[in-house]
Homo-oligomer: A and B are copies of this chain.
Amino acid sequence: MATFREIGEFGFIERIGAAGLPRAAGVYCGIGDDCAVLACENHRVRLITSDLMVEGVHFVAEGSEPHWLGHKLLAVNLSDIAAMGGEPREAVVSLAIPPDLDVGFMERVYRGLRELASRYGVNVVGGDTARSTGPLVMNLTLTGEMDPERVCYRSGANPGDLIYVSGTLGDAAAGLKLAPGEAVGLSEQDREFLLCRHHRPEPRVVLGRALAASGAVTAMLDLSDGMASDLRHICRQSGVSAVIDGATIPVSPAFRRFRELSGAGTRNLAITGGEDYELLFTVAQRGRDVVEALAAGTEISCIGRIVKGDGRIFLENARGLKTELDARGFEHFSGSPAP
């Protein structure tokens, strides 16, 4: 007998992902990427993805702004569609609700969800509602569409490709750690920025579509479990390794100040901290100019390169010294970010 605490999320996915499909025809990609990719008519593919949020694991109901819970529930799914380069379409929402929860709380959750939905043209078309005997559990399934030729899988990275990320890393993980008494001396403005990055991630849907349309991206995913952990998926699924230049990892001024004021435990947070919901993607050398021109409006940073190898990740310092990263990122069943 083994428990989920022992084998973890990825151990379980490996076990259940091994079985085949009854109708393999028309399935471009099943379990193992940000979305499943399915053939549909007129040379389009459908994308489908699902993400859960559990009270006490992903959020605390007491003191959370319900509006932002709804926003985040959709945002994390939009981020998966963005990571394939797709256009979001329909959502269904399932809720397990403690019976004594205030209905107004869930109405505010829905308002936040709908506001983000209308910005991206997502229709919330149904779902299911049941009683929970424990925490509030919310699941959202989101569909998308796109051109099959443009789908950005995790498995296309090649030695020599450059590694990029959008935005800045570690902000959301810092926001999660901002309990009273942490990072004493941090300004209200910095605190607000980091909390906002944690509670209200802005999915990179527009950037994801533009990157996919450019044809220059060889592999892409969204950062949910921490950069080191997520980059490992690209490396393993592409059969390559990666070298990250530590000095180029983009961090925000607020994060930098947070790190200075906090303990040693936050030193690697930009590399291991979860819930960035930024895009990480690889680009062949010849695609470099295309990608950098296209992302002029949005910050993107080149943080390293793909090398030959077997799924390992190395961190290189300014003197060219490489250390292998053993970062696990966020592991849901152990319940805490890696140090």
Contact = CB atoms under 8 A, between A and B. Distances in A.
Interface of A: 1-7, 9, 11-13, 15-16, 19, 21-24, 27, 30-31, 35-36, 38, 40-42, 44, 48-58, 89-90, 92-104, 106-107, 110, 114, 117-118, 121-135, 137, 139, 141, 143, 332-333, 335
Contact of A139 (B19, B94, B106): B94
B3 A90 contact: no
A99 B3 contact: yes
A125 B36 contact: yes
Contacts of A35: 126
A51 B96 contact: no
A92 B134 contact: no
Given A13-B129, A110-B16, A132-B57, A123 B44 contact: no
A22 B117 contact: yes
Contact of A41 (B40, B55, B98, B135): B40
Given A49-B92, A100-B4, A117-B22, A132 B135 contact: yes
15 contacts: A2-B102, A7-B103, A9-B129, A16-B107, A21-B123, A30-B123, A38-B90, A48-B143, A54-B130, A56-B133, A96-B137, A97-B333, A99-B333, A134-B134, A143-B143
A323 B84 CA distance: 58
Copies in the complex: 2
A266 to B, nearest CB: 23
Contacts of A89: 38
A31 B22 CA distance: 30
Contacts of A143: 48, 143
Nearest to A37: B125
Contact of A335 (B16, B129, B131, B335): B131
A30 B121 CA distance: 15
Contacts of A124: 21, 30-31
B38 A41 contact: no
Contact of A125 (B2, B30, B53): B30
Contact of A50 (B31, B58, B141): B141
Contact of A92 (B27, B50, B135): B50
A100 to B, nearest CB: 5
A58 B96 CA distance: 11
